[in-house]
Amino acid sequence: MDNIFQPHQEQLSEQGFTIVENIYTEDEVTQILELIVNIDNSKATFRKSADLFAIRQFLKEVPATHSLIFNKNLTQLISQLFGQDFFVVKSIYFDKPETSNWYVPYHQDLTISVDKKLEMENFGPWTVKQNQFAVQPPIEILENIVTIRIHLDDTNGNNGALRVIPKSHTKKIYRPEHIDWSKESETTCNVKQGGLMIMKPLLLHSSSRTTNNQKRRVIHIEFSNIALPTSLQWAEWMKVDI
C-alpha cells in the first residue's frame, strides 16, 4: 500500500508537527460531541472552570467514542505514520469555551501519565493532578511519543490554535526563557473541524486567549511503542486495532 501520509511523516520528523485535514466528517464530529455532552461529568477525572472543561483519561471515561475516533482514516494514518506497534498512552478532552481567557505560555510536554509513584533512577520530578500520577521520564521516552490532536471545531489564532516553534523538538529540553527570537520563528497551526494536528511533545508550543467568541474543542491522544520499566505502567495503555 502506498504511504499517502509520507509528506506528513517527513514534516513531523523535520518540523516537529504536521496538519492533516478531512480525517472526520461533520457527522462523525457531531456524533462524538453528542457522546461527550451526555456523560456523567461529576468524576474526579473531569475539570470544570469558567475558562476550561477537560476530561482526563478520556478514552476510558467515554469508551463509546472509540469506534468513531479510530475510524478507517485515523487507523491508516497511525499505521503509516507511526507503525503498527504504537499504542495509546494518554488521552484528554479539552473544551476551551467561547469566552475563555485561558492562556498557555510556551512550554514542552515533559511528563507522562503512569499508574503509581515509584522512586526510580532518571524518573522525576513527580506530580499528581486529579488522582493521576505524572512524571518526567528519560528523554528517550519523550522523544518516542507522538501526539494527535483531533479538532472538533475550526481553530485559528483567534480561538486558541496552538502556536509552535518549528524544529524546537530537536533541541532536547528547551526552556522557554532561553528562546532566542532572533533565530527562532513562530507558526500558528490553523486546523479545520475534522482535521488533525500531529506533533512531537518536545516541540515548544503555546495557546492564546479566545477573541472571536468561538469554541475550541480538541481530543488530545498520545502514542508510544516503548514499554516502561517492569514496575511502572502507562496509566492509559490501550492497543489500537489496525
Q: Are residues 26 and 194 in contact, defined by beta-carbon separation less than 8 angstroms? A: yes
Q: Which CATH superfamily hosts domain 6-37+45-239? A: q2cbj1_9rhob like domain (2.60.120.620)
pLDDT the model gives residue 49: 54
pLDDT digits (tens, 9 = 90+) for 92-135: 998 876 655 667 899 999 999 999 999 899 999 999 877 789 99
pLDDT the model gives residue 182: 94
pLDDT the model gives residue 51: 47
pLDDT the model gives residue 100: 58
* Domain boundaries along the sequence of the chain: 6-37+45-239
Evaluated on CA atoms 99, 34, 29, 60, the torsion sign reads: positive
Spell out the per-residue pLDDT of the chain, length 242, in tens: 567 899 999 999 999 999 999 999 999 999 999 999 888 666 665 666 544 578 889 999 999 999 999 999 999 999 999 989 999 999 999 887 665 566 789 999 999 999 999 989 999 999 987 778 999 999 999 999 999 999 999 999 888 899 999 999 999 999 999 999 999 999 999 999 999 999 999 999 998 877 777 788 999 999 999 999 888 999 999 999 87
pLDDT the model gives residue 43: 63
pLDDT the model gives residue 206: 95
C-beta atoms surrounding 59 within 10 Å: 20
